Structure 1
Amino acid sequence: MTRPLPRGGTLLLALIAGTAIANNYALQPALTAVAADLDVPLSVIGLVPTAALAGSMTGFALLLPLTDHLAPHRLVAAQLTALAAGLALAATAHGPLPLLAAYLLIGAAASVAAQAGNIAGRHAPPGRRGTGVATVAAGMSAGILLSRLVGGALTDAFGWRRMLLVFAGLVLLGALAAAVLLPRQRPPERRGYGATLAALPPLLRDRPGLRGAVITGGLWYFAFNIVWVTLALALAQPPYALEPTAIGLYSLAGLLGFAALPFTGRLADRYAPRTVITGSLLTAAAGAVLLATGLRTPAVTALGLALLDAGCFAAQAANQSRIIALDPARSGSLSSVYLVLYFTTGALGTSVSAPLLDAFGWPGTALTALAALLLAALLTRVLAPGETAHRTAG
Structure 2
Amino acid sequence: MSPPLPRGGTFLLAVTAGTAIANNYAVQPALTAVATDLDVPLSTIGLVPTAALAGSMTGFALLLPLTDHLAPNRLVAAQLTALAAALALAATAHHASVLLAAYLLVGAAASVAAQAGNIAGRHARPGRGGTGVAVVAAGMSAGILLSRLAGGALTDAFGWRRMLLVFAALALLGALAAATLLPRQRPPASRGYRATLAALPPLLLRRPGLRRAVATGALWYFAFNLCWIALTLALAQPPHSLGPTAIGLYSLAGLLGFAALPFTGRLTDRYGPRTVIGVSMAAAAAGTALLATGLDTPWRTALGLALFDAGCFAAQAANQSRVIALDPARSGSLSSVYLVVYFSVGALGTAVAAPLLDALGWQATSLTATGALLLAAALGRR
Query: Which residue in the other structure is 2:122 paired with?
Result: 122
The alignment status of 1:194 with 2:197, answered yes or no, reads: no
Query: Which residue in the other structure is 2:30 paired with?
Result: 30
Distance 2:318 2:189 in 1: 25
Query: Which residue in the other structure is 1:388 paired with?
Result: none
Distance 1:283 1:244 in 2: 27
Query: Which residue in the other structure is 2:137 paired with?
Result: 137
Query: Which residue in the other structure is 2:292 paired with?
Result: 292
The alignment status of 1:374 with 2:355, answered yes or no, reads: no
The alignment status of 1:159 with 2:154, answered yes or no, reads: no
- Residue 380 of structure 1 and its aligned partner are, at CA, apart by 1.6
Distance 2:378 2:23 in 1: 36
Query: Which residue in the other structure is 1:244 paired with?
Result: 244
Correspondences of 1:196-345 after superposition (within 5 Å)? 196-345=196-345
Deviations along 1:112-140, one digit per CA (max 9) or x if unpaired, are 00000000000000000000000000000
Partner of 1:23, secondary structure, is: helix
Correspondences of 1:30-179 after superposition (within 5 Å)? 30-179=30-179
Structure 1: which 5+ runs fail to align?
A: 385-394
- Residue 374 of structure 1 and its aligned partner are, at CA, apart by 0.4
- Residue 272 of structure 1 and its aligned partner are, at CA, apart by 2.0
Deviations along 1:233-253, one digit per CA (max 9) or x if unpaired, are 001110111111111100000
Q: Which residue identity lines up with residue 7 of structure 2 in the other structure? A: R
Query: Which residue in the other structure is 2:10 paired with?
Result: 10
Q: Which residue identity lines up with residue 320 of structure 2 in the other structure? A: Q
Query: Which residue in the other structure is 1:350 paired with?
Result: 350
Q: Which residue identity lines up with residue 368 of structure 1 in the other structure? A: T
Partner of 1:93, secondary structure, is: coil
Q: Which residue identity lines up with residue 55 of structure 1 in the other structure? A: G
Structure 2: which 5+ runs fail to align?
A: none
Q: Which residue identity lines up with residue 274 of structure 1 in the other structure? A: R
Query: Which residue in the other structure is 1:387 paired with?
Result: none
Q: Which residue identity lines up with residue 165 of structure 2 in the other structure? A: L
Deviations along 1:71-108, one digit per CA (max 9) or x if unpaired, are 00000000000000000000000010000000000000
Q: Which residue identity lines up with residue 118 of structure 2 in the other structure? A: N
Distance 1:341 1:189 in 2: 24
Q: Which residue identity lines up with residue 132 of structure 2 in the other structure? A: G
Distance 1:294 1:39 in 2: 42
Distance 1:176 1:209 in 2: 37
- Residue 197 of structure 1 and its aligned partner are, at CA, apart by 0.1
Distance 1:205 1:190 in 2: 20
**Greater alpha carbon shift after TM alignment, 55-64 vs 187-196:** 187-196
Partner of 2:184, secondary structure, is: coil
Partner of 1:347, secondary structure, is: helix
Distance 2:52 2:380 in 1: 31
Deviations along 1:202-258, one digit per CA (max 9) or x if unpaired, are 100000000000001000000000110011100111011111111110000000010
Aligned residues: 382
CA RMSD of the aligned region, Å? 0.5
Deviations along 1:360-385, one digit per CA (max 9) or x if unpaired, are 1111111000000001111122xx3x
Distance 1:7 1:97 in 2: 43
Q: Which residue identity lines up with residue 111 of structure 1 in the other structure? A: S
Distance 2:317 2:294 in 1: 29
Deviations along 1:253-286, one digit per CA (max 9) or x if unpaired, are 0000100100100000001211110000000011
- Residue 190 of structure 1 and its aligned partner are, at CA, apart by 2.4
Distance 1:380 1:236 in 2: 34
Distance 2:115 2:243 in 1: 37
Partner of 2:24, secondary structure, is: coil
